[in-house]
Amino acid sequence: MFQVRFHGRGGQGVVTAAELLSIAAFEQGRHAQAFPTFGSERAGAPVTSFCRIDDHQIRVREPVSEPDALIIQDPTLLHQVDVFSGLAEDGYVLLNSSQSFEELGLETLIAGLRPGRYMTIPATEIAREQIGRPLPNAVLVGGFAALSGAVSIEAVAKAIHEKFSGSIAEKNVRGARAAHELVAGALAEAAHA
Amino acid sequence: MLRQEEGSRAVAESVALCRPKVISAYPISPQTHIVEHLSDLVRTTDLSPCEYLMVESEFAAMSAAIGASAAGARTYTATASQGLLYMAEALYNASGLGLPIVMTIANRAIGAPINIWNDHSDSMSQRDSGWIQLYAESNQEALDMHIQAFRIAERLSLPVMVCMDGFILTHAYDEVDIPDQKAVDDFLPPFEPRQVLDPAEPVTIGAMVGPEAFFEVKYLAHAKQMQALDVIPEVAQRFAIDFGRPSGGLLREYRTEGAETIIVALGSVLGSIEDVIDEMRQAGIQVGALGIKSFRPFPLEEVREALTGASRVVVLEKALAVGRGGIVSTDVHEALHGTHIRCNTVIAGLGGRSITRDSLHGLLERAGRDELEPLSFLDLKTELVEHELERAHRGTPSGPHEQNILNEIGVVAARPH
Amino acid sequence: MPYQEIKLYQAGTFVAGNRLLDPDQRSVQARMERSNTLTSGHRACQGCGEALGARYVLDAAMRAADGELIATNATGCLEVFSTPYPESSWQLAWIHSLFGNAPAVATGVAAALKARGRDDVRVIGQGGDGGTLDIGFACLSGMFERNDDVLFVCYDNEAYMNTGVQRSGATPPAARTANTKPVGGTAGNEFGKGKNAPLIAMAHEIPYVATATVAELRDLEAKVERAMEMRGARYIHVFVPCPLGWGSASRDTIRIARLVKETGIFPVFEAEDGQVTSVSKIRRRVPVEEYLKLQRRYAHLFGDPPQTEVIARIQERADRNIRNFGLLAGADEGGDLPGSAADVAGDTPGQDDPSRTAEQETNLMRLMASSPHGPQ
């Protein structure tokens, strides 16, 4: 079972991000479960959502306390919430920021992680460019597809078309693909370095 | 058709497939997505003919449902927690009048203190209301149960509530198989009311009944619910044949053959329990689980049969009878009457506290070593409560418990002087 | 002998009874083929105003609906005395659910009929003042707000009668009830409490609101007929004396109902979409004492010494109604409605204002329309 935990703030589409990932996994013939934790319904409040992917039916019903991957939509949470709690040693981390982990002063947090498994991408900026709004959720799922290989970008695109419609779907797919390219490119570079 | 869908939406789709003619809806977390989606389906005429009433309270929701059902329409509503309590008077009225209304309960804790997260206190509080109560383990089962519920309700002329864990199921995206309209139409013929408000054949419904007849009328309501013990499995069997998967029924045994310890539970926690059972069985520990699907009527015989052979039973409950302890366990105890099987009650998950596989594992191990108290509380922060009890005992002017505990765990920064 | 014109008000003609009226204009109760919806054998008290009102209302509604009528009924005297199990006085499809939900049950019935393609069948909901104004108020307001296709009739005997005469939101000032006794220096029910259900109904801007009494039964029938011509939410508020609860003689029921109108205490009017459309004028104005004296619930006002200030306050309220609704026959005396600035200031309204018509826009409605929370 592959367990992903999303961190963000209310209004950033954290819940939708987990749902998109689960639909993408379903599109690829796998079993998936996605759900949020709930706090006050208020923009700006920390929100956590989860997605589990497996080849068997998923029966468990509890929050993900030992994630295989983290997707952090809002870097300001790092000072407020213990987002790294329970992360597996060979876990993946995708952080939405135009700065690197070092520039953000997070070297210690990523110290134990495997190279090639953690990355920052400017998802909000990509979203602004491609979608016209600072909603980084679909973009991050696209980037995550490249980082982890848990789902394919085509499945992500399909999921986006299922959740959204018309030009909104088109734009979000563009954003997801852009992030996917960016991450894939960065991984390839690092591999050749 | 197989889809990755949100539990609430899947339930809304399955309710729509049952072709209700009247839906009354008052929003309450965590049921909102169900009634919102049904509203869309009515507006786009995907569900038609159907009147969707945006009522002013849950009391009005059930009251309108009573009127609609009495006037011969297949009727549906949904609620949770405070809303269920607000319609409590009407619940008894609906069952007393024998109206086959189907209602979803998105199980949620009852305040005070106000809490929007999942536990079973709401539906448990109405267990004597005369409604049939079914508890779904998964979103698939939830959507299946609604289809079965209409058939059960209309067959018996009794209302049915389908309980599904709020947020845990309602707001989870899962893979579900949503049946097609024809299959549901074949399974669920049009509603033929036993008694109906019809100017062509006028009847008086809801007369006052005095001491000379009330007892008999009430007994008959009980007898009718007992008939459900036969109807529910019949309908589940029919469903399994028509739709190709087991769903609903009175209860479900999971690896109980040869089990020394059996854990009894209702609702979504059974999913986590089954994972733990598999793990422990792998390690050679003889454990099993019994999921109760029909809580009212309570299947005493079937529960007894399922638990015979075990040395001990643990009843895991998501509700607390304040001043007493367990609720489901009281019924399980009666089922075990005359056997020598030990039965322990474990209260867990109140107000949405997660029940983890780790905790369940530990619990079952302690049970196996017979270390469980007759009544215990899983993952209760005992130091916190002891501290608070001590503070109250000392006579310190302490204010409300919630305030103090929130101060202790640091959620609230301000401290009393 | 000199010929004297005698106009008889019930028929609106110069003849006694209505047998020389056009058949269409005759009272429903005068017809052999009336539905007799609330038939004999019920257990109401002698002189019960509610039983009288309900009989007239239901038969008129049944006639208007061609017999295609379903009734919902709140808990209360009417429900209790009409359905002593295993008997029932009702000769129509009828359901009693709870005390506070008769309007909501009616909403549900109407929805079912619509969904089943049977909106030729009409729905009437009924209840007393307790069930309508107090415990059923949220459901009533919801039904109004949604404009559900229901005619709701409130039989107002101004207290919770079936449970032993306790005070309701309709109990008038100074009235004695079981929990507003004139003891300890009090004079019965306090002034400044209570709610005006017809005005509140009007504030919802529903298609039809009317008040009526059991003294003018043809008028009551006509209002039911008028209401049944329309669709959507409609409300009729009927003043029904209760001999037992009010301590009045059972033979005085109709007389008391006539007096409550003639004093101005109970304005009789019709309104559509939130505007008063017609007012039933007072024919011979009487001081409130004539009305109060017939009821032992006001007996404490006439003790030794009499409570003249209290009576005067009751008179003031009646006077205000007369001004505000233009209740006096002859003069087109317009006036400010309760709650308007001029009314509160106690200004004397303009006399014989030629620009005022019978159809007056109410100040209250104007006030509401201009407020941020008023109708959009």
> Taking CA atoms, what residue in B is nearest to A51?
B173
B-interface mutation test, from A50, A55, A62, A158, most B Cβ less than 10 A away: A62
The separation between CA B41 and the C-alpha centre of its own chain, rounded to angstroms, equals 25
Whether B55 has a pLDDT exceeding 70, the answer reads yes
Mean pLDDT of B365-372: 97
Tell me whether strands A118-121 and B51-54 are parallel, antiparallel or unpaired: unpaired
Contact across the interface for B63 and C108, Cβ inside 8 Å: yes
- Tens of pLDDT, residue by residue over C39-64, are 999 999 999 999 999 999 999 999 99
Contacts B–C by Cβ distance under 8 A:
160
Q: For residue A39, what pLDDT is reported?
A: 64
B333 close to A (CB below 8 A): no
Which residues in chain A touch residue B118, judged by CB atoms under 8 angstroms apart?
none
* B170-199 residues touching A, CB cutoff 8 A: 171-175
The lowest-confidence range among B55-64, C174-183, C325-334 is C325-334
Contact across the interface for A59 and B172, Cβ inside 8 Å: no
When pLDDT is cut at 50, 70 and 90, the band that residue B191 belongs to is very high
Q: What's the whole-number average pLDDT of chain C?
A: 87
Closest Cα to residue B29, out of B103, B83, B92? Answer: B83
Residue B121: CB atoms within 10 A of its CB come to: 25
Give me C223's structure tokens.
Answer: 């209002």
Whether B96 has a pLDDT exceeding 90, the answer reads yes
> Taking CA atoms, what residue in A is nearest to B349?
A62
- Tens of pLDDT, residue by residue over B279-322, are 999 999 999 999 999 999 999 999 999 999 999 999 999 999 99
- Tens of pLDDT, residue by residue over C92-112, are 999 999 999 999 999 999 999
Peptide bond into B112 cis (omega under 30): yes
The separation between CA B39 and the C-alpha centre of its own chain, rounded to angstroms, equals 23
Smallest Cβ–Cβ distance between A31 and the set B30, B175, B271 belongs to: B175
- Tens of pLDDT, residue by residue over C77-88, are 999 999 988 899
Whether B261 has a pLDDT exceeding 70, the answer reads yes
CA dihedral in degrees (A29, A30, A31, A37; nearest 10)? -110
Our CA angle for B53, B55, B57, nearest 5°, is 150
Contact across the interface for B172 and A62, Cβ inside 8 Å: no
The lowest-confidence range among A151-155, B331-335, B386-390, C198-202 is B386-390
- Tens of pLDDT, residue by residue over B390-411, are 888 887 766 788 777 877 777 6
- Distance between CA C102 and CA C374 in Å, rounded? 27
Q: What percent of chain C has pLDDT over 90?
A: 76
Q: For residue C331, what pLDDT is reported?
A: 52
Our CA angle for B186, B189, B194, nearest 5°, is 160
Q: What percent of chain B has pLDDT over 70?
A: 98
Residue A103: CB atoms within 10 A of its CB come to: 11
Contact across the interface for B208 and C83, Cβ inside 8 Å: yes
Whether C350 has a pLDDT exceeding 80, the answer reads no
Measure B275 CA to nearest chain A CA, in Å.
7
Whether B89 has a pLDDT exceeding 80, the answer reads yes
- Tens of pLDDT, residue by residue over B248-260, are 999 999 999 999 9
Mean pLDDT of B353-370: 97
Smallest Cβ–Cβ distance between B173 and the set A27, A34, A59 belongs to: A34
Q: For residue C354, what pLDDT is reported?
A: 40
Task: Please name the residues in contact with C314: beta carbons below 8 A apart, sequence gap of 6 or more.
Answer: C172, C173, C174, C265, C288, C292
Q: Which amino acid is at C88?
A: S
When pLDDT is cut at 50, 70 and 90, the band that residue C3 belongs to is low
Measure C211 CA to nearest chain B CA, in Å.
26
Q: What chains are in contact with B, requiring at least 3 Cβ pairs below 8 Å?
A: A, C
Residue C349: CB atoms within 10 A of its CB come to: 15
Tell me whether strands B204-205 and B160-165 are parallel, antiparallel or unpaired: unpaired
Smallest Cβ–Cβ distance between B272 and the set A19, A27, A60 belongs to: A60
Q: For residue C2, what pLDDT is reported?
A: 61
Q: Do chains A and B touch, with touching meaning 3 or more CB–CB pairs less than 8 Å apart?
A: yes
B144 close to A (CB below 8 A): no
Number of C-alpha atoms within 13 angstroms, CB side, residue C197? 34
When pLDDT is cut at 50, 70 and 90, the band that residue C360 belongs to is very low
| pTM for the whole structure | 0.91
- Tens of pLDDT, residue by residue over B20-42, are 999 999 999 999 999 999 999 99
When pLDDT is cut at 50, 70 and 90, the band that residue C240 belongs to is very high
Q: Are the beta carbons of B352 and B119 closer than 8 angstroms?
A: yes
Contact across the interface for C139 and B65, Cβ inside 8 Å: no
Q: For residue C358, what pLDDT is reported?
A: 39
Whether C352 has a pLDDT exceeding 80, the answer reads no
Q: For residue B391, what pLDDT is reported?
A: 84
Q: For residue C364, what pLDDT is reported?
A: 47
Measure B116 CA to nearest chain A CA, in Å.
9
Instruction: Provide the residue-wise pLDDT of chain A in tens; the chain has 193 residues.
Output: 999 999 999 889 999 999 999 999 999 999 999 999 876 567 788 899 999 999 999 999 999 999 999 999 999 898 778 899 999 989 999 999 999 999 988 888 888 899 899 999 999 999 999 999 999 999 999 999 999 999 999 999 999 999 999 999 999 999 999 999 999 999 999 888 7
Q: What's the whole-number average pLDDT of chain B?
A: 95
